[in-house]
Amino acid sequence: MNEAEFVAALRQLPLHPGARGLEDDCAVLEIGGEALILTHDSMAEGTHFSEGADMADVAWKLVAVNLSDLAAKGAQPVGILIGYSLGEDDESFLKGLKEVTETYRVPLLGGDTIKASSARSLGLTAIGRASHTPAPDRRGAQIGDSVYVTGTLGKAMLGFEGDPECLDAYNRPNPRLAEGQVLAPHVNAMMDISDGLLLDAFRMASASKVTLAIESALVPVASPDRRDACLRWGDDYELLFTLPQASEPPVDCTRIGAVEPQGFAALVLDGEPVMNAEGLGYQH
- Of 52, 118, 272, 278, the residue at the interface with a second copy (CB under 8 A) is 118
Q: How far apart are CA 98 and CA 175, in angstroms?
A: 16
Q: Tell whether residue 57 is a contact of a second copy (CB under 8 A).
A: no
Q: Tell whether residue 39 is a contact of a second copy (CB under 8 A).
A: yes
Q: How far apart are CA 199 and CA 273, in angstroms?
A: 13
> Residues 127-156 vs a second copy: string with x where CB under 8 A?
x-x---------------------------
Half-sphere exposure of 189 (CA within 13 A, CB side): 30
Q: Tell whether residue 12 is a contact of a second copy (CB under 8 A).
A: yes
Phi-psi sector, 167: left (phi>0), alpha (psi -120 to 50), beta: alpha
Q: Tell whether residue 246 is a contact of a second copy (CB under 8 A).
A: no
Q: Please say which residue, 48 or 155, places its beta carbon nearer to a second copy.
A: 48
In whole angstroms, how close is the CB of 221 to a second copy at the nearest point?
Answer: 28
In whole angstroms, how close is the CB of 2 to a second copy at the nearest point?
Answer: 7
> Residues 61-80 vs a second copy: string with x where CB under 8 A?
-----------------xx-
Q: Please say which residue, 36 or 201, places its beta carbon nearer to a second copy.
A: 36
- Of 85, 150, 174, 208, the residue at the interface with a second copy (CB under 8 A) is 85
Give just the sign of the alpha carbon dihedral 49, 171, 234, 28: positive
Q: Tell whether residue 53 is a contact of a second copy (CB under 8 A).
A: no
Q: Tell whether residue 110 is a contact of a second copy (CB under 8 A).
A: yes
Q: Do residues 146 and 199 touch, judged by C-beta distance below 8 A? A: no
Q: Tell whether residue 48 is a contact of a second copy (CB under 8 A).
A: yes
- H or E segment to which residue 103 belongs: helix 90-103
In whole angstroms, how close is the CB of 284 to a second copy at the nearest point?
Answer: 6
Question: Near a second copy by CB under 8 A, which window of 38-46, 174-182, 194-202, 219-227?
Answer: 38-46
Residues 6+ apart with CB under 8 A from 197: 149, 153, 214, 219, 231, 232, 236, 240, 281
Q: Do residues 64 and 172 touch, judged by C-beta distance below 8 A? A: yes
Q: How far apart are CA 198 and CA 268, in angstroms?
A: 10
Q: How far apart are CA 161 and CA 235, in angstroms?
A: 13
In whole angstroms, how close is the CB of 137 to a second copy at the nearest point?
Answer: 14
Question: Near a second copy by CB under 8 A, which window of 44-52, 137-145, 162-170, 228-236?
Answer: 44-52
89-108: contacts with a second copy (CB under 8 A): 90-91, 94, 97-98, 101-102, 105-108
Q: Tell whether residue 112 is a contact of a second copy (CB under 8 A).
A: yes
CA 234, 189, 67: angle at the middle one, nearest 5? 50
Q: Please say which residue, 55 or 274, places its beta carbon nearer to a second copy.
A: 55
Residue whose C-alpha is closest to residue 176's, from 159, 190, 166: 190
